[in-house]
Amino acid sequence: MDDSVSTAISDARAALALAVERLAAAGARTELRAEIVEPRRVLGVRRAPQLQERGRVWRLGALLLDEHGGLFATGASVRAADPKHSALQSSVAHDRREVKVLARAAGIPDGETVDLDALPLHLDELAPGAAQGPLVLADDGVRVVWAPGAAAVPLAAYLEERVELLAHPPRGSVD
């Protein structure tokens, strides 16, 4: 790894550590990161999938950040709730309802946001010009592509803005 890549990764880690520090100090709202796991068959009988908790994260737009500085690409999310209605209009609504059923079975309280399919991001595996989820290593450091088709922005600036919004949400924006 050359010096410029090393410096970019080091700077990214420092930005993540600062983000964790600021979010923890502000008591910013976290969400539950979880995975849907297919249990092993028992005597050849397939068992129902289960929702397994993987920890708490802060949602920072295209990124999820855990308390140890672990970074994930945002996947699907659903709000845990009683899945009362079974007459659904779309397959997406049906899938969301199934996740709500799994969340209820896992004992996740109603109203909790559950982040699924979060792809772990590893700064050490970033290669110049190659994307890893929303991250890309550019000539001037690690950048984030926050939406499809959007220009990549410096990670430190992206985190600063997102941390500020989560740590100090605009009035009336919190549910």
* pLDDT, position 49: 76
* pLDDT, position 70: 96
Residue 175 has pLDDT above 70, yes or no: no
Judge whether 173 lies within some domain.
no
Judge whether 34 lies within some domain.
yes
The pLDDT confidence band at residue 98, using thresholds 50, 70 and 90, is confident
Residue 87 has pLDDT above 60, yes or no: no
Pairwise CA distance, residues 145 & 103, whole Å: 30
The strand ranges marked E within 93-174 are 113-116, 119-121, 131-132, 135-138, 141-144, 153-154
Judge whether 155 lies within some domain.
yes
Q: Which of 75-84, 85-94, 115-124 shows the lowest per-residue confidence on average (mean pLDDT)? A: 85-94
Judge whether 18 lies within some domain.
yes
Supply the range of the domain harboring residue 136: 3-39+47-167
Judge whether 10 lies within some domain.
yes
Residue 64 has pLDDT above 90, yes or no: yes
Judge whether 174 lies within some domain.
no
Tokens of 120: 């772990």
Number of structural domains found in the chain: 1
- Note the pLDDT tens digit of each residue in 36-49: 887 777 777 776 77
Residue 126 has pLDDT above 60, yes or no: yes
Which residues 6+ apart lie within 8 Å of 154 measured at CB?
140, 141, 142, 143, 144
β-pairing, 135-138 with 131-132? antiparallel
The pLDDT confidence band at residue 83, using thresholds 50, 70 and 90, is low
- Note the pLDDT tens digit of each residue in 130-158: 889 999 999 899 999 999 889 999 999 99
Judge whether 172 lies within some domain.
no
0.75 surpassed by pTM: yes
Judge whether 112 lies within some domain.
yes
The phi, psi pair for 45, rounded to 5°, reads: -95, 125
The pLDDT confidence band at residue 85, using thresholds 50, 70 and 90, is low
Residue 174 has pLDDT above 70, yes or no: no
